[in-house]
């Protein structure tokens, strides 16, 4: 009997090669663009040991009509923006991790009365973590093992009662099933958006930091050039 694999299908291989070729062309163009000398003030940046690719990649703009400097007000503004960048990155990374902790065909829930977060699927619930320290299912709910979790302060009694009631009675099965489906649909979108936001905020953070560093470096380089020029005149 002859079998064929979609992975090694001729059309699939051709498409893959075309995609990889296209990506290669884009990367080659991007690397060439980043390494290209700056159209203006290239020597000034070169003397300060500043690479053109960093200026282009992080869209750094430093006025060179006079010796560049950062005022106290600008330092304050930059500091505030950097703090917000750190908070923003921490927040998006936190939510990214929380979403990644939810396995397929599970959903993330929070008990309103105790504000406890947990994961749940049909007939099972667990701590919201990559490696949960507690798990509840129908078997455990029917024994005293579930109370041990409460006594060991793993979960609260209201959460234990809620989970076991949902597992054993299956009262809100439709609502749970709907929540699982909605989370499964939105999970890829949320991960992509949060990751993109994290990268964007990180890029902005690096851009500001490099602007401060390069401004100081350029100022020092220009001052040194002026000193050398003055010594030649004397």
**Is the pLDDT assigned to residue 144 strictly greater than 90?**
no
pLDDT digits (tens, 9 = 90+) for 17-35: 888 888 888 888 777 777 7
Sign of CA dihedral 147, 153, 157, 158: negative
The residue extents of the domains of the chain are: 64-234
- Choose the weakest-confidence range: 1-5, 48-52, 116-120: 1-5
Q: For residue 10, what pLDDT is reported?
A: 65
**pTM attached to this predicted model:** 0.78
Q: Which residue has the higher pLDDT, 1 or 233?
A: 233
Q: What is the mean pLDDT of residues 75-83?
A: 95
pLDDT digits (tens, 9 = 90+) for 113-126: 999 999 999 999 99
């Amino acid at each position: 009997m002859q079998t064929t694999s979609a992975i090694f299908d001729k059309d699939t291989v051709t498409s893959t090669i075309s995609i990889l070729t296209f990506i290669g062309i884009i990367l080659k163009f991007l690397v060439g663009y980043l390494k290209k000398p700056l159209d203006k003030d290239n020597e000034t940046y070169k003397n300060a040991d500043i690479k053109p690719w960093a200026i282009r990649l992080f869209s750094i703009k430093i006025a060179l009509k006079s010796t560049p400097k950062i005022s106290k007000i600008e330092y304050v503004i930059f500091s505030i923006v950097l703090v917000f960048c750190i908070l923003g990155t921490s927040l998006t990374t936190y939510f990214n991790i929380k979403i990644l902790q939810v396995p397929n065909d599970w959903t993330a829930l929070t008990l309103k009365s105790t504000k406890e977060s947990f994961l749940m699927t049909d007939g099972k619930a667990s701590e919201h973590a990559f490696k949960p320290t507690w798990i509840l299912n129908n078997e455990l709910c029917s024994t005293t093992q579930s109370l041990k979790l409460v006594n060991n302060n793993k979960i609260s009694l209201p959460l234990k009662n809620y989970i076991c009631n949902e597992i054993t009675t299956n009262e809100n099965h439709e609502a749970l099933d709907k929540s699982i489906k909605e989370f499964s649909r939105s999970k890829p979108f949320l991960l992509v958006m949060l990751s993109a936001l994290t990268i964007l905020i990180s890029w902005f953070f690096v851009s500001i930091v490099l602007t401060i560093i390069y401004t100081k470096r350029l100022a020092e380089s220009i001052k040194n050039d002026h000193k050398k020029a003055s010594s030649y005149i004397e």
